[in-house]
Amino acid sequence: MTECLHQRLGLPYAAGGQRLIDAHHHLWNLDSHRYPWLQDEVDPGFFLGDYAPLRRNYLPEDYLADSAGQRVLATVHCEAEHDRADQVAETRWIHEQHARYGFPNAVVAHVWFHRPECEEVLGRHLEYPLLRGIRSKPVTAPRPELAASVRGQSGSMQDEAWLRGFELLARHGLSWDLRVPYWHLQEAAEVAAAFPEVPIVLNHMGFPWDRSPAGLDGWRAGMAALAGQPNVSVKVSELGLRDQPWTLEGNRGVIEETLALFGIERCLFASNYPVAGLRIGYDELVTALQTILAGYDEAQRDGFFWRNSRDFYRIELDE
């Protein structure tokens, strides 16, 4: 089996840690790059509440420290809302980190699908060899009862310009990282059905923020619609709730339902670090998922923790 990142860098490593590929994390350098949400006025609507601890550099050394208790084989960097005036700068910087540290090993970059410069910006991202996919957040409503009000707006998943930009993913063999709240999942399933050749991975389990019976019913309906599309996978990640602790028993139900709906072969481990660190430690997160997966066999657990991500993001490992 390939060495983990810490071994390759000559750092102490946890021989007994979980072998994994982290399918979703972020890095940022606020000294050299601009991230408005981290450097400008604080967003009071941030889904986890106070995020002051994130408003600092988060560099490869920081990720390596947080993940030192596990055997991280590779990672996927997902765009972190870098200044949209220079969307390719983040991709360039991540490649510089890979050259120095050997990770991240795949890049999910940002492009606005509905804007005229979409194809030109995408072409510049494609100059970088680790590019595997795009995360472009469509227009969404802040609450479930307002979901219909944004349907068809510019930048929504029904916007013809947005769909033309999305089609470029198929042309270039790229995947889409889907990030919407649960009240837009059924619309996303329509996109998945219209573009069956595009691999899609849902970020953060569709954000089951409302754990009331009605909220969970809405989430289940959206998840079932997406699970019915064979080109859709899901990242089991970011189950933090606003101003509430992350608990195993609080999150076990939605995780087990996700595994049942999609099948473990379409589920990927992802940390969403450092954001998830506002609620749970890296090792604590891995241990919680190991506990939930105890009833699966070794091959299924290996799939969840690393093989599914390797295959989805086309990561080369020396095995």
Q: Which fold has domain 3-311?
A: TIM Barrel (3.20.20)
Instruction: State pLDDT tens for residues 191-231.
Output: 999 999 999 999 999 999 999 999 999 999 999 999 999 99
Instruction: State pLDDT tens for residues 71-83.
Output: 999 999 999 999 9
pLDDT value of position 318: 81
Q: Flag whether pLDDT at 1 surpasses 70.
A: no
Instruction: State pLDDT tens for residues 275-312.
Output: 999 999 999 999 999 999 999 999 999 999 999 999 99
Q: Flag whether pLDDT at 319 surpasses 70.
A: no
SS (H, E, C) the chain: CCCCHHHHCCCCCCCCCCEEEEEEECCECCCCCCCHHHHCCCCCCCCCCCCHHHCCCECHHHHHHHCCCCEEEEEEEECCCCCHHHHHHHHHHHHHHHHHHCCCCEEEECCCCCCCCHHHHHHHHCCCCCEEEECCCCCCCCCHHHHHHHCCCCCCCCCHHHHHHHHHHHHHCCEEEECCCHHHHHHHHHHHHHCCCCCEEEHHHHCCCCCCHHHHHHHHHHHHHHHCCCCEEEEECCCCCCCCCCCHHHHHHHHHHHHHHHCHHHEEECCCECHHHHCCCHHHHHHHHHHHCCCCCHHHHHHHHHHHHHHHHCCCCCC
Using pLDDT thresholds of 50, 70 and 90, give the confidence band for residue 147: very high
Q: Flag whether pLDDT at 98 surpasses 70.
A: yes
pLDDT cut 90: percent of the chain above it:
98
Domain extents in the chain: 3-311
pLDDT value of position 243: 86
Q: Flag whether pLDDT at 37 surpasses 60.
A: yes
